[in-house]
């Protein structure tokens, strides 16, 4: 999690995110893996609304890709 300027909050759990994009002809497969140091760290961010935040991020990615292919 970051503040409004993009600076990471050091008091919150850190994650490592890997996103891969695989060309499948007319479609692209997007895979996202988010890794935390512990189950407790994962639960902390889930309790903070991480799932909704990730869904919002993926929606914005969809919008960007639509603009780029228009």
pLDDT band, very low/low/confident/very high, at 63 (cuts 50, 70, 90): very high
Q: What's the average model confidence in pLDDT over 34-51?
A: 93
pLDDT of residue 30: 92
Distance of CA 62 to the CA centre of its chain: 13
Q: Is the pTM of this model over 0.95?
A: no
| pLDDT tens-digit map of 1-40 | 677 788 888 888 999 999 999 999 988 899 999 999 999 9
CA distances from 20 to 2, 24, 34, 46, 67 (A): 22, 12, 12, 22, 20
> Within 10 A of 30 (CB to CB), how many other CB atoms are there?
13
Q: What's the average model confidence in pLDDT over 59-68?
A: 91
> Coil, helix or strand for 10?
coil
d(CA 40, CA 13): 9
> Coil, helix or strand for 12?
coil
């Amino acid at each position: 999690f970051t503040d409004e300027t993009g600076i990471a909050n050091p008091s919150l759990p850190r994650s490592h995110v890997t996103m891969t994009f695989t060309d499948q002809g007319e479609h692209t497969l997007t895979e996202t893996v988010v890794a935390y140091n512990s189950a407790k760290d994962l639960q902390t961010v889930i309790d903070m609304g991480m799932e909704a935040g990730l869904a919002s991020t993926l929606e914005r990615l969809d919008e960007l890709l639509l603009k780029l292919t228009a």
